[in-house]
C-alpha cells in the first residue's frame, strides 16, 4: 500500500495521531473549522497509505472527567465531511468503546477517540499518572504521529509520554510550523517586523524580551498597549491595564532605544464608555493615545495608528503577527485588526499569522487564508518557540 515519512510501511498498522481539533463551538455547532481543515492532510496521507488511523485530540478545558459540552462528536462528524469518508467515533478515550472502535477499523479507515482531557491522566503533573494513561493510549496503536502543533508546548500524555512508548514521527503540520518558526528566529529576511496585540502584556513578556534582539520593529496594539502608554506617562482611563507590568514596559522602551529596535505605539485610540455587549449600541470615539478620557476605555487602535502600522509593514520582508489590535468581533472596533491583516496580505516575503485569536480574526473578517504566507494553528506554541523555549512535544520526537 504505502509508507509514511519517518515510520516506513504503515499499511495495516494502527497509527495514533495527536491532532489539534480544539475548535470553537456554539452548542454543538463549530464556528471556525480552521484547525480541523489543517489536520486533514496528515490524516488523509496515512489513510491513503493503508494505515488504520486513530485520532486523539482535546477540546476546551474539561476537568479530567467527561463533560458533554466538550465532546468531540461534532468534530468527528466534520472531519468525516472533509475527508469524504465515514469517521468512526469512540465515546470514551481508552475504554471499551475506544478499544472496540479501533479493533473494528479496516485498512485506510479513520476513528476519533473522545476528548483526551476527559481523562485526568492527560494533563496530570504526576508522571506516574500521566504515564499510566499514556500506556493505555499506546496500547491502541503500533506507531505515533505528532501533528497537534497547538499542544507541543505541553508535557501531556498524548503529546509527550506516548512518543516515549511507540515508534514516532512528526506530522506534516507540525513539521511545517517548525520550519516557519525557524525562518522567523534563525534567518529572518530584513526588514523584520513583529506585530503584537491581544489583551495582556504579561502573556507576551518572553517574546518581547527575545525579539528586542532580533526584530527591526515591534508594533504594539490590542489591550496590552495601555500598559505601554502608561509607561510613557499617559493616562489610560478605564482601559485594560496591568499596573505591575508598567516598570517592565519602561525597561523595554529603554532597551529598544538602546538597541535600535523601533517600538511603534498607536497615536490614536478608538474608545467607548462601555465594553461592547449585546445590550447597547457601540458609541465609538477616536481620541489621541495621549488623551484617553477618564470615563472611557480603549477598544481598538485608531485610524491614524492603523495607517501608520500598515505603512510600517509595507516594506517588510518578514512579519510575525500575534494578537488582534482590538475587539475585532464587533465591527466598530475591528478597523485596526483589519488594517494589519490587509497589510500582511501585501507582504513581499514571509507573513506569519501566529495562531489563536489572530487566526480566528483573519477568517472572521473574511480574508482568504491563501493570502498569507502561513497561518499558525498554535498561538501559545508559536510564542514559546519565539521566546526561545524548548517545546517538549517537539524535543521528544528528536530523541
Taking residue 31's Cβ as centre, other Cβ atoms within 10 Å add up to: 12
Active-site position among 37, 99, 200, 389: 200
The answer to whether the annotation marks 355 as part of a ligand binding site is: yes
Has 22 been labeled as part of a binding site? yes
Q: Binding residue per annotation — 83?
A: no
Report whether 117 belongs to an annotated binding site. yes
358 is in an annotated binding site: yes
User: Is 329 labelled as part of a ligand binding site?
Assistant: yes
Rounded-to-integer distance, Cα 371 and Cα 347, Å: 9
Tell me: is residue 254 an annotated ligand-binding position. Answer: no
- Secondary structure percentages of the chain, helix, strand, coil, to 5: 40, 15, 40
Q: Which of 2, 64, 380, 389 is catalytic?
A: 380
Whole-angstrom distance, CA of residue 320 vs CA of residue 181: 10
317 is in an annotated binding site: no
The per-type count for the chain, helices as H runs and strands as E runs, is 13, 19
Report the C-alpha gap between 274 and 366 in whole angstroms.
Answer: 27
Annotated active-site residue 315? The verdict is no
The three state secondary structure string of 315-364 is: CCCEEEEECCCCCCCCHHHCHHHHHHHHHHCCCCCEEEECCHHHHHHHHH
Which residues touch 319 (CB under 8 Å, ≥6 apart)?
A: 192, 193, 194, 195, 313, 344, 347, 349, 350, 351, 352
Of 14, 18, 35, 78, the catalytic one is 35
Give the distance from CA 27 to its chain's centroid. Answer: 22
**Catalytic residue from among 326, 356, 378, 379:** 356
**Backbone dihedral region for residue 108 (phi beyond 0: left; psi -120 to 50: alpha; all else: beta):** left
Q: Please indicate if the annotation marks 235 as binding a ligand.
A: no
Q: Is 99 annotated for ligand binding? A: no
Task: Find out whether 35 is annotated in a ligand binding site.
Answer: yes
Cell numbers for 259, please give them: 538597541
Residue 180 CB-density burial (10 A; 0-12 exposed, 13-18 middle, 19+ buried): buried
User: Is 16 annotated for ligand binding?
Assistant: no
Catalytic residue flag (residue 18)? no
224/392 Cα distance (integer angstroms): 28
Give CA–CA dist 318/290, Å, rounded.
30
35 is catalytic: yes
Partners of 318 in the β-ladder: 192, 350
Query: Is 190 one of the annotated active-site residues of the chain?
Result: no
357 is in an annotated binding site: yes
Q: Is 190 marked as binding a ligand?
A: no
Annotated ligand binding at 82? The verdict is no
- Detail the residues annotated as belonging to a binding site for substrate: 20-22, 35, 58-61, 117, 154
- Detail the residues annotated as belonging to a binding site for (2R)-3-phosphoglycerate: 35, 117, 154
- Detail the residues annotated as belonging to a binding site for ATP: 204, 298, 329, 355-358
- Detail the residues annotated as belonging to a binding site: 20-22, 35, 58-61, 117, 154, 204, 298, 329, 355-358
Q: Would you name the residues annotated as active-site residues?
A: 35, 200, 356, 380
Amino acid at each position: 500500500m504505502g509508507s509514511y515519512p519517518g515510520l516506513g510501511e504503515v499499511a495495516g498498522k494502527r497509527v495514533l495521531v495527536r491532532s489539534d481539533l480544539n475548535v470553537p463551538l456554539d452548542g454543538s455547532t463549530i464556528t471556525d473549522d480552521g484547525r480541523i481543515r489543517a489536520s486533514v492532510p496528515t490524516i488523509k496521507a496515512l489513510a491513503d497509505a493503508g494505515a488504520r488511523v486513530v485520532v486523539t485530540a482535546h477540546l476546551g478545558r474539561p476537568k479530567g472527567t467527561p463533560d458533554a459540552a466538550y465532546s468531540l462528536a461534532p468534530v468527528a462528524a466534520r472531519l468525516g465531511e472533509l475527508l469524504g469518508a465515514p469517521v468512526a467515533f469512540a465515546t470514551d478515550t481508552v475504554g471499551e468503546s475506544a478499544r472496540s472502535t479501533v479493533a473494528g477499523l479496516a485498512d485506510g479507515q479513520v476513528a476519533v477517540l473522545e476528548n483526551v482531557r476527559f481523562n485526568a491522566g492527560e494533563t496530570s503533573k504526576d508522571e506516574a499518572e500521566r504515564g499510566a494513561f499514556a500506556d493505555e493510549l499506546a496500547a491502541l496503536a503500533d506507531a505515533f504521529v505528532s501533528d497537534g502543533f497547538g499542544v507541543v508546548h505541553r508535557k501531556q500524555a498524548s503529546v509527550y509520554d506516548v512518543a516515549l512508548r511507540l515508534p514516532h514521527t512528526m506530522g506534516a503540520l507540525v513539521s511545517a510550523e517548525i520550519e516557519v518558526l525557524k525562518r522567523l528566529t534563525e534567518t529572518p529576511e530584513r526588514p523584520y517586523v513583529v506585530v503584537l496585540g491581544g489583551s495582556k502584556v504579561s502573556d507576551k513578556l518572553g517574546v518581547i524580551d527575545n525579539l528586542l534582539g532580533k526584530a527591526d520593529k515591534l508594533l504594539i496594539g490590542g489591550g496590552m498597549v495601555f500598559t505601554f502608554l502608561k509607561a510613557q506617562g499617559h493616562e489610560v482611563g478605564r482601559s485594560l491595564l496591568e499596573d505591575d507590568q508598567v516598570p517592565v514596559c519602561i525597561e523595554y522602551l529603554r532597551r529598544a532605544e538602546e538597541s535600535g529596535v523601533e517600538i511603534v505605539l498607536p497615536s490614536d485610540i478608538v474608545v467607548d464608555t462601555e465594553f461592547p455587549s449585546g445590550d447597547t449600541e457601540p458609541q465609538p470615539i477616536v481620541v489621541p493615545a495621549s488623551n484617553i478620557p477618564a470615563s472611557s476605555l480603549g477598544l481598538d487602535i485608531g485610524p491614524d495608528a492603523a495607517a501608520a502600522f500598515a505603512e510600517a509593514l509595507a516594506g517588510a520582508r518578514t512579519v510575525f503577527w500575534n494578537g488582534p489590535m482590538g475587539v475585532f468581533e464587533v465591527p466598530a472596533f475591528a478597523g485596526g485588526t483589519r488594517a494589519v491583516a490587509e497589510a500582511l496580505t501585501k507582504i513581499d516575503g514571509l507573513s506569519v499569522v501566529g495562531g489563536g485569536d489572530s487566526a480566528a480574526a483573519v477568517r472572521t473578517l473574511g480574508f482568504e487564508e491563501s493570502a498569507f504566507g502561513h497561518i499558525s494553528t498554535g498561538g501559545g506554541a508559536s510564542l514559546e518557540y519565539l521566546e526561545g523555549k524548548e517545546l517538549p512535544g517537539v524535543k521528544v520526537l528528536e530523541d
